[in-house]
Structure 1
Amino acid sequence: MATVEECRAALEKLIEQFAEISAKDRAKHVVERRLACRISDLGVTFYSRIHPEGLDPFKEVPPEDGRPAEVKLTLGSADLVSMVNGELDMARALFCGRVKIDASLGDLLRLRKLL
């Protein structure tokens, strides 16, 4: 089990990794969506926004507009850290039930190209 601070660091690293994706690929596969990343074993949720320019910083406070996230991820803290560090494959984690994603089919199809 990772700590909240380790999860924050992993999410910051994810933002950096996402920035490394070419602008062309981001423009092709990313539409603006609100994200919620629930860390099940810590009982904390981080919120962000994905858009063609990148990922906004993750915060523990829901957006002020009160609108729900269109893409919701639920996973354990250790799995988050392992995935961001390249030690756990996202597809394998989804198949095994270690990661759950609640999103529209269209969003899933677009995002899978980036994962």
Structure 2
Amino acid sequence: MATVDECRQALQDLAARLEHNAETVREHVDLDRTLACRVSDLETAFHGRLTGGRLIGLTDGDDPKAKIAMTTTSDDLIALVRGDLDVTRAVASRRVSVKANPFDLMKLRKLL
């Protein structure tokens, strides 16, 4: 099981990658939504905002009103961010749960 710090770092790494590729991402994914990432085995969460191809304002804690909510385990979160776990397969096998409106889900597929 990964630690809270490892999960936080993985999300910060994802934010840095998105920042580096913001122009390219923005061309494919036009989203401005709040995001919550819930880590079930650690009983913790993180939240931020996806906007302009970037993940900004990433901080500890849940956002129960987030427009996009992802729930997974710590190890699966790390594997997703590293690219070791395919998000489509993870969702299909219920290792990852994503709650969002259908149009946002289609846009997120391009991002992930």
Give the structure 2 partner of residue 83 of structure 1. Answer: 80
Q: Which one has the bigger strand percentage? A: 2
| 1:114 counterpart residue number | 111
Question: Hey, what does 1:69 align to over in structure 2?
Answer: 66
Runs of 4+ in 1 over 6 A off after TM superposition: none
Equivalent residue for 2:40?
40
Equivalent in the alignment of 1:99: 96
Shift of 1:45: 0.9
| 3-state SS of paired residue (2:12) | helix
Residues in 1 aligned to 2:78 and 2:9: alpha-carbon distance in whole angstroms: 9
Contact 1:27-1:52 within 8 A present in 2 as well:
no
Cα deviations by residue, 1:41-62 (Å, 9 ceiling, x for unpaired): 0000101000015111421145
Q: Which residue of 1 aligns with 2:5?
A: 5
How far off its partner does 1:27 sit? 4.2
Q: Which amino acid aligns with 1:85?
A: R
**Greater helix fraction, Structure 1 or Structure 2:** 2
Q: So what's the TM-score if we normalise by structure 1?
A: 0.88
Indicate the RMSD between aligned Cα atoms, in angstroms.
Answer: 1.7
How many residues align? The count is: 112
Paired-residue identity, %: 38
Name the CA distance, whole Å, in 2 between partners of 1:62 and 1:26: 25
- CA–CA separation in structure 2 for the residues paired with 1:96 and 1:62: 24
Segments of 5+ residues of structure 2 without an aligned counterpart are none
Distance 1:89 1:53 in 2: 20
Gaps of 5+ in 1: none
